[in-house]
Chain A
Amino acid sequence: MAKFEYAPAPESRAVVDIKSSYGLFIGGEFVDPADGTSFKSINPSNEEVLADIAEARQADIDAAVKAARDAHTRTWAKLSGRDRGKYLFRIARIIQERARELAVLESLDNGKPIRESRDVDIPLVAAHFFYYAGWADKLDYAGFGPDPKPYGVAGQIIPWNFPMLMLAWKIAPALATGNTVVLKPAETTPLTALLFAEICQQADLPPGVVNIVTGAGDTGRLLVEHPGVDKVAFTGSTEVGKAIARSVAGTEKKATLELGGKAANIIFDDAPIDQAIEGIVNGIFFNQGHVCCAGSRLLVQESIYDDVLTSLKRRLGTLRVGDPLDKNTDVGAINSAEQLTRIRELSEVGEAEGAERWSPECELPERGFWFPPTVFTGVSQAHRIAREEIFGPVLSVLTFRTPAEAVEKANNTPYGLSAGVWTDKGSRILWMSQQLRAGVVWANTFNRFDPTSPFGGYKESGYGREGGRHGLQAYLKVDEAA
């Protein structure tokens, strides 16, 4: 029998032009940091150094917040919604025009497969800007009363798992509602945010409306604690989210937090099994499992457990792990050495706790940060791998007998970001979605995103909503009225 081997099909890197070093984007210009310190951003698939990135400290954050404040009072707040919308539409169009460049750069810096950055991340980024561009002149009709006002300067901190998409989720609604922003991308994935800064220049966005400051946790803390920031928006770990909540407590600052998750993906015995298998794969192996709403806990009805496991393992045998820039890659690189260590540690804990570990045969590249798709069976609610967010390609499989037990187990977590329900019964989908304490409940699908749909968590998954009409509220002074 012939074997159909797919030849390498690498996307060309030629479309991106990575500079050897990047400054901070403050007041519409790239500027050197006040004390000249920098760090490196590397390609996680081969540890190649991509660029030197400036590290923003106190003086830089002061300058960025001042630039944002000036831009807010002098230009952005005075513009009509229609004119703000024009800029956002322009940015959205440029993102579409430069989509390939953004996708390649995202895959280089983050390690995610080009198929995902090309077909999911960047199209959603453009869609998000288009969507909020449309709201900019319709805020009077958004249900928050006439003429709702922006907070002013938003300090925004985003994670490394969807660098450009999280930037869009933060910047698009902030700008549409009339705020200006200082955004800090994650220290391992700053490059697309810096390219976005160039896009702001290309779009003639007034200087200071968008400022990008790079750095690690300390830079983020300085931004959150800066007295000139009116609103803090954070996506990232629950641990940091809690620190931010403590920091803004007792101040006038508003905060929205989108934090971790440990989502249940629930498969009933009447589910469309072949599609459910795809949903399981997409739920936990999409973006190497670096997804806060990942379906990391698989709950399978006991009566179909064996069949689901057999089918799932067969399917995982076809996953293609490797070069993120290869157009046929399904699973790319782990984003950082630090994250890889955490995934390894928790997986070892899983084994030590008695769960059975399985991975399909796959060759991993020698250089870079790699972890094979992994399934743990025989997991119980008491296991750490069933409770803690691993944020990697690691699935914990549990079983249930009745719908009530499924709900009980699904909700028995400190998190509450998302859940998935697979069944052919419409009535059960509706019942389950009422019972599940999760911000998003997917029915017969998983990890689907749309700018019109609000996204956010219950409990330790955070508060506030992003996306949709609800996403406007996070950037408007409407809490009192609402």
Chain B
Amino acid sequence: MTVFEDTRLADAASSEASLRRFLHGLPSVDQVGADARAATLATRSIKTTAKEFAIDLAISMIDLTTLEGQDTPGKVRALCSKAQRPDPTDASVPQVAAICVYPDLVPVAKEALGASGIKVASVATAFPSGRTSLAVKQADTRDAVAAGADEVDMVIDRGAFLSGRYGQVFDEIVAVKEACGRADAVEGQGAHLKVILETGELVTYDNVRRASWLAMLAGADFIKTSTGKVSPAATLPVTLVMLEAVRDFRVATGRQVGVKPAGGIRTSKDAIRYLVLVNETAGEDWLSPDWFRIGASSLLNDLLMQRQKLKTGYYAGPDYFTLD
């Protein structure tokens, strides 16, 4: 859609009122239709060579995640070694895209990953609820960045969004983006900012579309569905709506924004369905770890199992794949 004239886009964030006008002026989403489209795409049958391609692509797009109270340096180190060699018996398996941890574990991950090229993503801004002051959110972000995070996964203030204070959400994203800046980096090359919409709490697809545009207007490098702490987490139709948003945003502004569904994606079948969705909605430009990520943990082993099945014709039991 190119209904957004450039002037309107530039003005959109100039005041609370214009932001509201802009977001409420976006074309609505019909839930039944969006669900039906996602369900139809989910029937695509991805076999043989297409499946091989999709499995390796999906592995390379994973943000391998551990976000538990019980996380320890040991657990994070184990995960980092899994990230680099998902299958110790098969060097042809690609690395994952990133490791996603809490801020205090960023130094551990950074050290463990070394020069592997795997990014370290840190959640921040009082993840997962985001219920704290902006000053604390910024400090949280700066901490993570200072510790070496390449990417920051922030949460939006859903309370503010749902009560219509779009300006506040916008300003917070701008402020966190600022906190992503690195002293040693040139302007605009700070940590990549992924903005978590927590679509399970926004509920309607109209809200998802508005929050996506709000985040992109405020400078998000990625828009992400969920924290994984709220059910439902990522769903196909929600991701469809977000992919439409990034597609339309690029048409309107020329800037490409990435998408990251996270939470609840556990099987290869699920992951391949997301890739089909990307392929047929935003297009092949998004089919790369630079523009599409999957936030997951147990998904990786299922991908490895399916990969081995394709190569050998046999399924190996779960004990033939490493826990982490």
Chain A residues proximal to chain B, CB less than 8 Å: 1-9, 115, 119, 270-276, 278-279, 304, 306-307, 310-311, 318, 327-328, 424, 444-445
At the interface, yes or no: B294 with Cβ under 8 Å from chain A?
A: no
Contact B45 A328 (CB under 8 A): yes
Contact B3 A274 (CB under 8 A): no
Contact B33 A310 (CB under 8 A): no
Chain B residues proximal to chain A, CB less than 8 Å: 1-3, 27-30, 32-34, 36-37, 43-51, 53-54, 57, 244, 275-276, 279-280, 284-285, 287-288
Contact A1 B33 (CB under 8 A): no
Query: Which of chain B's residues have a CB closer than 8 A to the CB of A7?
Result: 46-51
Contact B2 A310 (CB under 8 A): yes
In whole angstroms, how far apart are the Cα atoms of A379 and B322 in the complex? Answer: 63
Query: Which of chain A's residues have a CB closer than 8 A to the CB of B50?
Result: 4-7
Taking A4-B50, A4-B54, A5-B50 as contacts, is the C-beta distance between A275 and B43 under 8 angstroms?
no
Query: Which of chain A's residues have a CB closer than 8 A to the CB of B3?
Result: 273, 304, 307
Query: Which of chain B's residues have a CB closer than 8 A to the CB of A327?
Result: 43-45
In whole angstroms, how far apart are the Cα atoms of A304 and B53 in the complex? Answer: 39
Contact A9 B37 (CB under 8 A): no
Q: How far is the CB of A287 from chain B (nearest CB, A)?
A: 14
Query: Which of chain B's residues have a CB closer than 8 A to the CB of A4?
Result: 50, 53-54, 57, 275-276, 279, 284, 287
Q: How far is the CB of A420 from chain B (nearest CB, A)?
A: 12
Q: How far is the CB of B251 from chain A (nearest CB, A)?
A: 9
Taking A1-B287, A6-B50, A307-B2 as contacts, is the C-beta distance between A275 and B45 under 8 angstroms?
no
Query: Which of chain B's residues have a CB closer than 8 A to the CB of A2?
Result: 53, 57, 284, 287-288
Q: How far is the CB of B44 from chain A (nearest CB, A)?
A: 5
Taking A3-B284, A328-B45 as contacts, is the C-beta distance between A275 and B30 under 8 angstroms?
yes
Query: Which of chain A's residues have a CB closer than 8 A to the CB of B54?
Result: 4
Q: How far is the CB of A7 from chain B (nearest CB, A)?
A: 4
In whole angstroms, how far apart are the Cα atoms of A6 and B273 in the complex? Answer: 12
Q: How far is the CB of B75 from chain A (nearest CB, A)?
A: 32
If A119-B43, A273-B1 are given as contacts, then 9 extra A-B residue pairs at C-beta distance below 8 Å, sorted by A number, are A2-B288, A4-B53, A6-B46, A271-B28, A273-B3, A274-B1, A274-B27, A275-B30, A307-B3
Q: How far is the CB of A12 from chain B (nearest CB, A)?
A: 12
**CB < 8 Å: which of B27, B34, B37, B276 contacts A271?**
B27
**CB < 8 Å: which of A3, A8, A119, A278 contacts B37?**
A278
In whole angstroms, how far apart are the Cα atoms of A270 and B285 in the complex? Answer: 29
Contact B27 A272 (CB under 8 A): yes
Contact A270 B28 (CB under 8 A): yes
Residue ID in chain A nearest B49 by CB atoms: A7
Query: Which of chain B's residues have a CB closer than 8 A to the CB of A304?
Result: 3
In whole angstroms, how far apart are the Cα atoms of A111 and B299 in the complex? Answer: 38
Query: Which of chain A's residues have a CB closer than 8 A to the CB of B51?
Result: 7
Contact A424 B53 (CB under 8 A): no
Query: Which of chain B's residues have a CB closer than 8 A to the CB of A270?
Result: 28
Q: Is the interface of A mostly helix, strand, loop or mixed?
A: loop
Taking A1-B284, A4-B287, A273-B1 as contacts, is the C-beta distance between A424 and B47 under 8 angstroms?
no
In whole angstroms, how far apart are the Cα atoms of A270 and B28 in the complex? Answer: 8
Query: Which of chain A's residues have a CB closer than 8 A to the CB of B27?
Result: 271-274
Contact B53 A274 (CB under 8 A): no
Give 21 CB contacts A-B under 8 Å. A1-B285, A3-B287, A4-B279, A4-B284, A4-B287, A5-B49, A5-B50, A7-B47, A7-B49, A8-B47, A9-B46, A9-B47, A115-B43, A270-B28, A272-B28, A272-B29, A274-B34, A275-B34, A318-B280, A328-B44, A424-B28
Contact B37 A275 (CB under 8 A): yes
Query: Which of chain B's residues have a CB closer than 8 A to the CB of A5?
Result: 49-50, 53
In whole angstroms, how far apart are the Cα atoms of A279 and B2 in the complex? Answer: 19
**CB < 8 Å: which of A275, A279, A318 contacts B29?**
A275
Q: How far is the CB of A203 from chain B (nearest CB, A)?
A: 30
Taking A2-B53, A2-B287 as contacts, is the C-beta distance between A272 and B2 under 8 angstroms?
no
Contact B28 A307 (CB under 8 A): no
Contact B44 A6 (CB under 8 A): yes
In whole angstroms, how far apart are the Cα atoms of A304 and B287 in the complex? Answer: 30
In whole angstroms, how far apart are the Cα atoms of A275 and B49 in the complex? Answer: 31
Q: How far is the CB of B310 from chain A (nearest CB, A)?
A: 12
Taking A273-B1, A424-B28 as contacts, is the C-beta distance between A278 and B43 under 8 angstroms?
no
Residue ID in chain A nearest B52 by CB atoms: A7
Q: How far is the CB of A266 from chain B (nearest CB, A)?
A: 15
Residue ID in chain B nearest A444 by CB atoms: B30
Query: Which of chain B's residues have a CB closer than 8 A to the CB of A424?
Result: 28
Taking A5-B50, A119-B43, A271-B27 as contacts, is the C-beta distance between A445 and B284 under 8 angstroms?
no
**CB < 8 Å: which of A9, A272, A318 contacts B33?**
A272
Query: Which of chain B's residues have a CB closer than 8 A to the CB of A275?
Result: 29-30, 32-34, 37
Query: Which of chain A's residues have a CB closer than 8 A to the CB of B284?
Result: 1-4
Q: How far is the CB of B206 from chain A (nearest CB, A)?
A: 9
Query: Which of chain A's residues have a CB closer than 8 A to the CB of B30?
Result: 272, 275, 444
A-B residue pairs, 7 tightest by C-beta:
A275-B33, A9-B45, A272-B30, A327-B45, A7-B50, A275-B30, A273-B27
In whole angstroms, how far apart are the Cα atoms of A304 and B27 in the complex? Answer: 11
Query: Which of chain B's residues have a CB closer than 8 A to the CB of A271?
Result: 27-28
Q: With a 10 A CB-CB cut-off, give which of A7, A119, A270, A327 has the most chain B CB atoms.
A: A7
**CB < 8 Å: which of A8, A274, A307 contacts B244?**
A274
Query: Which of chain B's residues have a CB closer than 8 A to the CB of A328?
Result: 44-45
In whole angstroms, how far apart are the Cα atoms of A103 and B12 in the complex? Answer: 51
Q: How far is the CB of A165 from chain B (nearest CB, A)?
A: 19
Contact B1 A311 (CB under 8 A): yes
Q: How far is the CB of B66 from chain A (nearest CB, A)?
A: 28
Query: Which of chain B's residues have a CB closer than 8 A to the CB of A8?
Result: 47
Contact B48 A307 (CB under 8 A): no
Q: How far is the CB of A95 from chain B (nearest CB, A)?
A: 21
In whole angstroms, how far apart are the Cα atoms of A306 and B3 in the complex? Answer: 9
Q: How far is the CB of A434 from chain B (nearest CB, A)?
A: 22
